[in-house]
Structure 1
Amino acid sequence: MDTLQASHPSGPILPEPSGPEPVLHLEPEHGFACFRHAWHDFMEGLTLGKLACTLSWLDIKQRYRGSLLGPFWLTLSATIMVAAMGLLYSYLMHMDVHIYLPFLTISLVIWMFVSGLMTESCTTFNTAASMIHAARLPYSLHIIRSTVRNWMVCAHNVPVVVVVFLWFHTTPHWTWALLAALVVWGVDSFFLTLFLAILGARFRDIPPIMASILQILFFVTPVIWAPELMSVGEEWLLLDPFFPLIEILRGPLTGDHLSVMVWPAALLWSALLGVITCTLFARIRARLAYWV
């Protein structure tokens, strides 16, 4: 041993390890394995829900740091928009302002949430690229973070709805349908965020395309105009996926009677969104880290 140490200044010669060397096998996901891994990703994201909510709150604080009113600028903007558009369009469409203004208020608040959610969803994974590359975290964590952040922003516009409803004596219908609508909206907002985040990570043209689509849908969907204004062909509105989803939430709040086909259409569009999103996420989950 002394001879070996002398002939090798760097140190003694170590014995070769016995047994075969470990081999790392990398195999693509096939069959239901990709769906099983996607399900585990969802479950891990739910277990880290508290972390996602904390990150969402920090995002809002960081976004409005140094601002005088912070996110309440959105409340002020929504108030001015409701007052200006409510008085103008109630006159142009010859509608009673006591009926139209509560309708317009809840419609604009819902649409502002949808617009903000879809706009930010396109860059969810791209914005979190540093975290995706640095730590092994479930992808659903970033989706929950973005979804909760947009729900928090939407909550700042709730006082506008409350004030308008109190001013015009509009009483919401507190029924099971309203609770069910909130559950459907919570699930759909998660899947819509995930769907657009995947597309935005793969194709950088998605954000401007989505902005153009939102401008068209704002005028096509009954947001600033009531669906009752269509004397014929109102059933064709069910082909717009946003109409039944908005209607199941807006109807109980404004006290309007819902059509029989509104809830089936809303559930059908929600199920279609969930199936497409889960299938897409399961198939490309392993490649997301290379796209951002």
Structure 2
Amino acid sequence: MTSAPIESDRRSFARTFTDLKTGFANHELWAHLGWQDIKQRYRRSVIGPFWITIATGVMALGLGILYSALFHMKIETFLPYITTGFIVWNFILACITEGAETFIANEGMIKQMPAPLTVYVLRTVWRQVLMLAHNLIIYVIVLLVSIGTLGSPYHMSEDNSGPLHPGLGFGMLMVIPGFILLVTSGVWVSLLFGIISTRFRDIPQVINSLVQLVFYMTPIVWSPDVLGERGRSIGHTAIQFNPLYHYVQVVRGPLLGQQVDWWSWVIVIGLTALGWGIALLAMKNYRSRVSYWV
């Protein structure tokens, strides 16, 4: 007779919001755990987490030189474009793939330490924020090299076709709300995918397969500016229905002095709100089961 009320109490938004509130309040715990994850990964390494920066920089430089030649793009504008795109994409990718294994990877702590589930999600996202901060060093270096071109209105293509971007200015400040939305979405993605993947262990493998396809459909190593008139029309339609493009663009655009379309902001804000709503419902219904599923 008493099992129903107890079960109902477990599946309540009150318990969900308490978990979130307590998790965010324990910032010293998840911040320390996230930093220790990076230190542990590069333990006994001479330059430690800066290997992240080197690997990303080498990849961006190699592909930037190659694709700028293939697509007839100006290297001084395309290299910052592909570098910034890689930095933001790596953050999104890690929040999706590592977020899906958030609770699985923390199985031991979940079973031994009574902590809110939000702590493990924030641990994962905070780790990605630290890695993003390391990678921003590459952006600063590339920006210093290309500031003469990006500091004024510019075209990305060698023949000066395509959109004319306004160049760096006070519009760079829009990267702040863009970054906040990106991190906020990283939390709900890790929370939602983490719960689903804990119940269905095939989900992480499915996600890893899909993100490879989405990467090539997202303007990271290519730019819509290089598409011809017909290709630009098709590409424009494709990227407008690609939510990851909009998440990349609200951060990359301001960093490169590009005007971000208002539609991108609408989609990002809308998806962030919708994602949090679904994540809260999943948290409400299945929060108490995660410890059994792991």
**TM-score class, shorter:** 0.7 to 0.9
The alignment's C-alpha RMSD in Å is 2.0
Amino-acid identity (%): 29
What's the CA shift string for 1:158-193, capped at 9, x where partnerless? 111100010011354444522111111121111111
2:139 is aligned with 1:161:
yes
Write the distance in 2 (CA, Å) between the matches of 1:225 and 1:36: 46
Partner of 2:263: 261
Is 1:177 the counterpart of 2:174 in the alignment?
yes
> Could you tell me which residue of structure 2 aligns to residue 20 of structure 1?
none
Q: What's the secondary structure of 1:86's corresponding residue?
A: helix
Between the aligned partners of 2:2 and 2:9, the Cα distance in structure 1 is 21
Choose from 278, 282, 289 the match for 2:280: 278
- Following superposition, which runs of at least 4 residues in structure 1 exceed 4 angstroms of deviation? 23-26
Is the contact between residue 125 and residue 186 of structure 2 (CA under 8 Å) also seen in structure 1?
A: yes
Letter paired with 1:180? P
8 Å Cα contact 1:86/1:104 also seen in 2: yes
Deviations 1:64-106 (A, max 9, x none): 1112222111111112111111111001111111111111110
Unaligned stretches of 5+ residues in structure 2: 152-167
- Comparing 234-243 with 41-50, which one deviates more in the overlay? 234-243
Query: Quick one: distance in 1 between partners of 2:58 and 2:175?
Result: 27
Q: How many Å apart are 1:38 and its aligned residue?
A: 0.5
Higher mean C-alpha deviation, range 81-90 or range 24-33: 24-33
User: Does 1:201 find its partner at 2:189?
Assistant: no
Number of the residue aligned with 2:221: 224
Q: Which SS does the other structure have where 1:30 is aligned?
A: helix
State whether residues 199 and 206 of structure 1, in contact with CA within 8 Å, keep that contact through their aligned partners in structure 2: yes
Q: Indicate yes or no: 2:51 matched with 1:67.
A: no
TM norm structure 1: 0.87
**Counterparts of 2:275 and 2:189, CA distance in 1:** 7
Q: Taking structure 1 as reference, are residues 290 and 31 closer, same or farther at Cα in structure 2, changes over 3 Å only?
A: closer
Separation of aligned partners in 2, 1:287 and 1:177 = 40
More helix by share: 2
1:32 to 1:51, Cα distance in 2 relative to 1, 3 A: closer
Out of 194, 199, 210, the position equivalent to 1:213 is 210
**Alignment of 1:51 onto 2:29:** yes
TM-score normalised by length of structure 2: 0.86
Q: How far apart in 1 are the matches of 2:70 and 2:3? A: 69
Structure 1 portions without partners, runs of 5+ = 1-22
Alignment partners' CA distance in 1, 2:108 and 2:9: 30
For residues 239-285 of structure 1, what are the alpha-carbon distances to aligned partners after superposition, in whole Å with 9 as ceiling and x for unaligned?
11101111111111101122231111111121221111111111111
Aligned residue identity for 2:81: F
Within 5 A, what are the aligned runs for 1:24-173? Answer: 27-30=5-8, 34-169=12-147, 170-171=150-151, 172-173=168-169
Shift of 1:28: 4.6
Does the Cα contact within 8 Å between 1:173 and 1:253 map onto a contact in 2?
no
Report the Cα offset of residue 213 of structure 1. 1.0
Larger Rg: 1
Partner of 2:165: none
| CA–CA distance in structure 1, aligned partners of residues 201 and 248 of structure 2 | 29
Q: Describe the superposition over 1:135-164 as per-residue Cα deviations: whole angstroms up to 9, x where unpaired.
A: 221000111111101111121111111000
